[in-house]
Amino acid sequence: MDEKLRNKLFLSIRNIYIFFACIAVVILLGYLAFSNHNFPMLVILLQFLMIVFLIGFIAGNCCRNGCFWEDFSYVLYHNSVVFSKNRDSDSFCADYNMVRRIKSNIDGLKHMSICLSKSEVSLPVRLKGNIELIDFIRDKGTVSIDKPVKSDHMSIEFQVNFDPPLMKNEAASYVLKFRAENLYDKNSEHIEKFAHSGDSEFNSLYIHRRIQDCGFDIRFNNNCMVDILGCDVTRGDAGTDFESEQKFVENNRCFRVIDDAEGQLISFARTRPPVGARYTFRWKPIKQDQ
């Protein structure tokens, strides 16, 4: 038997065993509460704690397996961005491509809302034109996007629509692109600040639901001088260190920096990243001589 299948089978048997063992304990405590008049409150308290544990156990397993809140999950989640200098000025621009393949976990998935936060798209966010749907793959039906319902320096929010709605286990792929301009002037006071402080620019990737294959590529063209600082792994919005995942990223070379003829490339790839992890890719702009 395949090792992964054997592990899954073991975990399923273990969970079933724990579930029925908890039920048996709750029933036993209930019996003792009514038959034993010496310590009824203590027995009732133990029964209450056992029920709380049982509810937590069931909820935890359902959430991990996508039974409650995951209306869809990602088969492929990949971002790529190319930073370059505008031809008519010293400001930078960034071209983003976002590739997604999702699998619906419910019947009738009509749309999915997307919010690109300030951490995923380098600040300040200034859209040049609209977000474009440049390709989609679906067996039957279409994929479309709405114009951003919100677009400011903090975030971009829009919606991807499926017509007709996706059925359970149906998959759809799509590719989005957009441009953000005037990110900063390479010779401005903004760059001077970075040259004399510990601050850095960054993109981050927050794993908010299950993903099979995840990637993030950030390219800096030759006219964008930067000092790449590395990748930090934390737990969600709390910002606490995620030491085990940090070690996994380092030991398995999930994060790489590549120098080539076109400039510098940050390349990140991770299969089945843990939900709740945040990967932050940091760099510092370098002031260029006139």
The model's pLDDT over 13-58, given as tens digits with 9 standing for 90+, comes to 666 666 666 676 666 666 666 665 555 666 666 666 667 666 665 6
Same-domain check for residues 111 and 16: no
Domain membership flag for residue 46: yes
Per-residue confidence (pLDDT) for residue 48, from 0 to 100? 66
Domain membership flag for residue 145: yes
Domain membership flag for residue 290: no
For residue 46, the enclosing domain spans 3-64
Domain membership flag for residue 237: yes
Q: Mind listing the pLDDT tens digit for each residue in 80-100?
A: 989 887 766 556 778 889 999
> Bridge-partner residues for 91, per DSSP?
185
Residue 43 burial (CB count, 10 A):
19
Tokens 């692109």 belong to residue = 177
Same-domain check for residues 94 and 60: no
Residue 21 burial (CB count, 10 A):
11
Same-domain check for residues 146 and 279: yes
Same-domain check for residues 108 and 252: yes
The total number of structural domains in the chain stands at 2
Same-domain check for residues 191 and 50: no
* pTM, to two decimals: 0.70
Amino acid of residue 210: R
Are β-strands 72-85 and 211-221 bridged in parallel, bridged antiparallel, or unpaired? parallel
Do the beta carbons of residue 230 and residue 283 sit within 8 Å? no
